[in-house]
């Protein structure tokens, strides 16, 4: 099951996340020479004198020198030349230049805080060797980690496979299936920025209706906040069922603004990043809208959510992790008590 929203009004948000990284308050300790150039080794060998062809060898031999320089600046060389098999989505030199051009404070890789550079580069790396034929539309777990409430958590990566392979709605594979000694390299045309909740809300077509609803209610900024947030995200069919339930509604714009805002904020829990594995059966949580939801989990780990009306929906896809929270797709729209005496 996939999720996401790709309305034109939100498309710029993916670019903000891809290229709009904010500088850290602390001064960066590491230095990187603006004029550094990386010269490919014409005959790289491993310690035994045998010609090697690891991920960085491929990058050097094929002119992806900015990727090599970034890996060195982020102290990730040992990861990329090690024995563990990896899948790397490798940005071109032009992709890195576009990243630098997106921020007025960045003219060279050394201007990017090292911890941010590490996280961004690792967002392009998957454990194991995945050829293009092994990829399918859905979510992978990248080797990038983000800190939420003191815990380091793996980030999700959305893959959309069609005529091309697109990652997080912002980066396209242009040269797939370059096999190397320690995995496979797929060259991509843009740096895959760190995802917030709106990244996945703009990349996954299963959330087209949710995207439209958030835009209509002017609630996009809610999912751009620092969080953490837990979001129960209705899929398209869930919104269609909501519209079908009322003879006066044929499209989302027929729902009055107050009702739509209340319904949408009833799907968001602020202050927690609730992975389904950590949810206890019978957990009651208070939403941003102000009313409660009850979360249940059976012995097989299946999660359901019961709203204020007593209706229950199923979590059909769980644990899509962003930098500011987590998404669980649900097959129905949750409804708060909209009666006058509900508050």
- Please report the DSSP string for 153-201 in residue order: EEEEEEEEESSSEEETTTEEEEEEEEEETTEEEEEESS--PPP-HHHHH
How many residues are recorded in the chain?
343
Provide CB contacts within 8 A for 117, sequence distance 6+: 70, 73, 74, 109
Question: 219, 268 in Cβ contact below 8 A?
Answer: no
pLDDT at 10 over 70: no
pLDDT at 267 over 70: yes
How much is the pLDDT for 339? 82
CA distance 149 to 82: 31
**Which three-class secondary structure state does DSSP give residue 88?**
strand
Pairing of β 86-91 and β 183-188: parallel
CA distance 6 to 200: 9
Question: 311, 296 in Cβ contact below 8 A?
Answer: no
User: Can you name the residues that pair with 148 across neighbouring β-strands?
Assistant: 151
pLDDT band at 241 (very low <50, low <70, confident <90, very high): very high
CA distance 140 to 155: 9
Which strand (E) or helix (H) includes residue 236? helix 236-244
* Mean pLDDT confidence for 219-232: 91
pLDDT at 319 over 50: yes
Name all domains of the chain by residue range, CATH numbers in brackets: 22-193 (2.30.180.10), 207-330 (2.30.180.10)
Range in 54-63, 82-91, 105-114, 219-228 with the lowest mean pLDDT: 219-228
Whether residue 315 is preceded by a cis peptide bond, meaning omega within 30 degrees of 0, is no
pTM: 0.83
How much is the pLDDT for 5? 37
More confident residue, 112 or 21: 112
Distances (CA, A) of 134 to 152, 175, 249: 28, 15, 42
CA distance 261 to 258: 5
Task: Give the tokens for residue 193.
Answer: 């920025």
Chain centroid, CA 137 distance in Å = 14
How much is the pLDDT for 23? 38
pLDDT band at 38 (very low <50, low <70, confident <90, very high): very low
More confident residue, 7 or 67: 67
pLDDT band at 47 (very low <50, low <70, confident <90, very high): low
How much is the pLDDT for 49? 57
User: Can you name the residues that pair with 234 across neighbouring β-strands?
Assistant: 330
* Residue of 131, 73, 64, 150 lying closest to 106 (CA atoms): 73
């Amino acid at each position: 099951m996939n999720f996401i929203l790709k309305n034109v009004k939100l498309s710029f948000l993916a670019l903000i996340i891809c290229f709009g990284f904010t500088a850290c308050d602390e001064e960066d300790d590491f230095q990187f020479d603006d004029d550094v150039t990386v010269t490919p080794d014409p005959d790289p060998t491993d310690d035994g004198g045998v010609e090697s062809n690891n991920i960085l060898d491929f990058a050097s031999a094929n002119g992806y020198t900015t990727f090599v320089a970034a890996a060195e600046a982020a102290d990730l060389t040992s990861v990329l030349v090690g024995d563990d098999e990896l899948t790397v989505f490798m940005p071109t030199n032009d992709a890195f230049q576009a990243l630098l051009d997106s921020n007025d404070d960045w003219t060279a890789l050394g201007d990017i805080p090292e911890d941010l550079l590490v996280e961004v580069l690792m967002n392009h790396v998957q454990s194991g060797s995945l050829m293009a034929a092994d990829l399918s539309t859905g979510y992978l777990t990248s080797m990038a980690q983000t800190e939420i409430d003191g815990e380091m958590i793996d980030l999700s990566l959305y893959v959309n496979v069609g005529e091309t392979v697109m990652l997080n709605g912002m980066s396209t594979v242009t040269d797939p299936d370059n096999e190397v000694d320690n995995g496979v390299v797929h060259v991509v045309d843009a740096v895959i920025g760190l995802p917030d909740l709106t990244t996945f809300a703009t990349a996954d077509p299963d959330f087209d209706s949710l995207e439209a609803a958030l835009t209509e209610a002017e609630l996009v900024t809610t999912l751009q906040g620092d969080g953490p947030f837990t979001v129960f995200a209705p899929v398209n069919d869930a919104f269609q069922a909501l519209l079908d339930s009322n003879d006066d509604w044929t499209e989302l714009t027929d729902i009055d603004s107050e009702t739509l805002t209340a319904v949408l904020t009833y799907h968001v829990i602020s202050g927690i990043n609730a992975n389904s594995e950590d949810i206890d059966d019978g957990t009651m949580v208070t939403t941003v809208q102000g009313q409660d939801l009850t979360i249940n989990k059976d012995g097989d780990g299946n999660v359901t959510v019961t709203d204020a009306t007593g209706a229950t929906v199923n979590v059909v896809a769980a644990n899509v992790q962003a930098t500011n929270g987590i998404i669980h797709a649900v097959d129905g729209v949750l409804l708060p008590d909209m009666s006058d005496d509900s508050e």
